[in-house]
Amino acid sequence: MGMAKIHLITGGQRSGKSAYAEKLALAANEHPVYLATSKVWDEEYQKRIERHQDNRSAAWINVEEPLEVDKLDFPSKVVLLDCITLWLTNVFDRCAYDAVQAQKMALNKLDQLFEKDIDLFMVSAEIGMGVIPMEASTRRFVDVHGEVNQYIAQRANKVSFMVSGLPLVVK
């Protein structure tokens, strides 16, 4: 394992993952990096991103990078990566939806990110807790996402699972 001190915050959609991670990062450093990984998919999604941006105080150093999170030099030792789920979507897109190549690329990039001397708060959804998706490509994504979450959790110093805005300590 590299030098990064990792705290994985996971949970369902609208479970409070981002708000909790933001609170932790701001408590750790007065000017943390907010590493946003989402692409703009459509007009509604652009508005969602803008709401997230508007909610952040001036304390944040905002960095938007949809794919190459491993190649960044951070201007702060505390980094909040929000989120693995959207980043992994971008990795899948780059790999033409080849699950094997996407997982290989994702783990390689994570290994490089974990070598950095940073306190890394990582937000990731737990998307595999419901029904099995009907479409094969979606099943492949959910499978790889679960494997990636496990990979991060094994390397993490701390893991929190969010339920209705409340953090449960997993590790």
165 Ramachandran zone, left/alpha/beta (phi>0; psi -120 to 50): left
Dihedral, CA of residue 96, residue 17, residue 127 and residue 91, to nearest 10: 10
Of 7, 31, 52, 145, the catalytic one is 52
* Strand pairing class (166-169; 158-163): antiparallel
Q: Which residue, 66, 67, 61, is CA-closest to 79?
A: 61
d(CA 32, CA 135): 39
Q: Which structure tokens are listed for 170?
A: 């997993």
Q: Do 152 and 170 touch, CB atoms closer than 8 A?
A: no
Q: Answer yes or no: 7 catalytic.
A: no
Would you name the residues annotated as active-site residues? 52
